[in-house]
Chain A
Amino acid sequence: MSLLAALPVVGSLTTAVLLLVLSRWPRIQKGLALGSNLLLFSIALALLVEVREGGIQVHHLSGWPPPYGIILVADLLSSTLLTVTAGVFLAALVYSLGYMEKESLRLSYLPLFFFLMTGVNGAFLTGDIFNLFVFFEVMLLSTYGLLITWDPKGLISRAEKLEATFKYLILNIIGAAVMLLAIGTLYGTTGTLNMAQLSVRIQTLRAAGVVHIDLIALLFVAVFGLKAAAAPFHFWLPDVYTSAPTPVSAILSGILNKVGAYMMIRLTSLLFVGFEGVSEVILLLGLGTIILGGVMAMGQSDIKRLLAYSSVSQMGFLLLAIGLASGQAIAAAIFFLVSHAIISSMLFLAAGGVTHLTRERSIDRMGGLAGSSPFLAITFLIGIMALAGIPPLNGFISKLLIFQAIIDSGRLLYVLIALIGAFLSIVYNFRAWLDTFWGKTRRTEKRSLSLYLLLPVGFLAAISLLLGIFPEPLVDLVSQVGVQATTPDFYVEAVLGGVT
Chain B
Amino acid sequence: MVSFLALVIGILFGVAVWAIRHGNTLRIVIGLSILSNTVNLMLIAVGFKGEIAPIIGLEGAPADPLVQALILTAIVIGFGVTAFALVLSYALIKEEGSTEVDAFRRLRG
Contacts and interface: CB of A to CB of B under 8 A. Distances in A.
A361 to B, nearest CB: 13
B102 to A, nearest CB: 12
A422 to B, nearest CB: 23
B55 interface: no
B92 A166 contact: yes
A173 B36 CA distance: 8
User: What is the interface residue range for chain B against chain A?
Assistant: 20 to 34
Interface in A155-197: 157-160, 162-167, 169-170, 173-174, 176-177, 180-181, 183-185, 187-188, 193
A180 B43 contact: yes
A184 B42 contact: yes
A170 B28 contact: yes
A267 B88 CA distance: 34
Interface in B1-57: 20, 25, 28, 32, 35-36, 38-40, 42-43, 46
Contact of B81 (A137, A181, A187, A243): A137
B59 interface: no
23 contacts: A133-B74, A137-B77, A158-B95, A159-B106, A162-B92, A162-B95, A163-B104, A165-B88, A169-B84, A169-B85, A173-B32, A173-B81, A176-B77, A177-B32, A180-B43, A184-B39, A184-B42, A184-B46, A187-B46, A235-B109, A238-B109, A242-B107, A296-B109
A130 interface: yes
A419 to B, nearest CB: 25
A214 interface: no
A141 B88 contact: no
A181 B77 contact: no
User: What is the interface residue range for chain A against chain B?
Assistant: 35 or more
B55 to A, nearest CB: 17
A239 interface: yes
A407 interface: no
Residue among A141, A160, A163, A243 with the most chain B CB within 10 A? Answer: A163
Contacts of A133: 74
Contact of B35 (A160, A174, A185, A188): A174
A174 B36 CA distance: 8
A239 B105 CA distance: 11
Interface of B: 20, 25, 28, 32, 35-36, 38-40, 42-43, 46, 66-67, 70, 73-74, 77, 80-81, 84-85, 88-89, 91-92, 95-96, 104, 106-107, 109
A163 B89 CA distance: 9
Contacts of B66: 187, 193
A157 B92 CA distance: 12
Contacts of B35: 173-174, 177
Contact of B89 (A164, A166, A177): A166
Contacts of A185: 46
Contact of B39 (A165, A177, A242): A177
Contacts of A235: 109
Contacts of B92: 159, 162-163, 166
A296 B73 CA distance: 40
A108 to B, nearest CB: 13
Given A159-B106, A187-B67, A176 B81 contact: yes
A181 B84 contact: no
Contacts of B40: 180
B39 A159 contact: no
Contacts, number: 90
B107 A184 contact: no
A159 B46 contact: no
A144 interface: yes
Contacts of A170: 20, 28, 32, 85
Nearest to A136: B77
Nearest to B105: A163
A296 B85 CA distance: 30
Contacts of B84: 141, 144, 169
Contact of B88 (A160, A162, A242): A162
A181 B104 CA distance: 30
A188 B67 CA distance: 9
Given A159-B95, A187-B70, 6 more contacts: A137-B81, A141-B84, A162-B91, A169-B81, A173-B36, A181-B39
Interface string A127-139: 0001001100100
A298 to B, nearest CB: 13
Nearest to B73: A134
Contact of A174 (B32, B91, B96, B109): B32
A164 B88 CA distance: 11
A-B pairs with lowest CB-CB distance, top 5: A188-B46, A239-B107, A184-B43, A162-B92, A173-B32
Interface in A444-483: none
B27 to A, nearest CB: 12
A235 B107 CA distance: 11
B36 A177 contact: yes
Contacts of B89: 166
Contact of A141 (B46, B74, B80, B106): B80
Nearest to B43: A184
Nearest to A169: B85
A378 B36 CA distance: 48
A180 B42 CA distance: 9
B36 A164 contact: no
A167 B104 CA distance: 10
A212 to B, nearest CB: 13
A162 B85 CA distance: 11
Contacts of A148: 88
A424 to B, nearest CB: 17
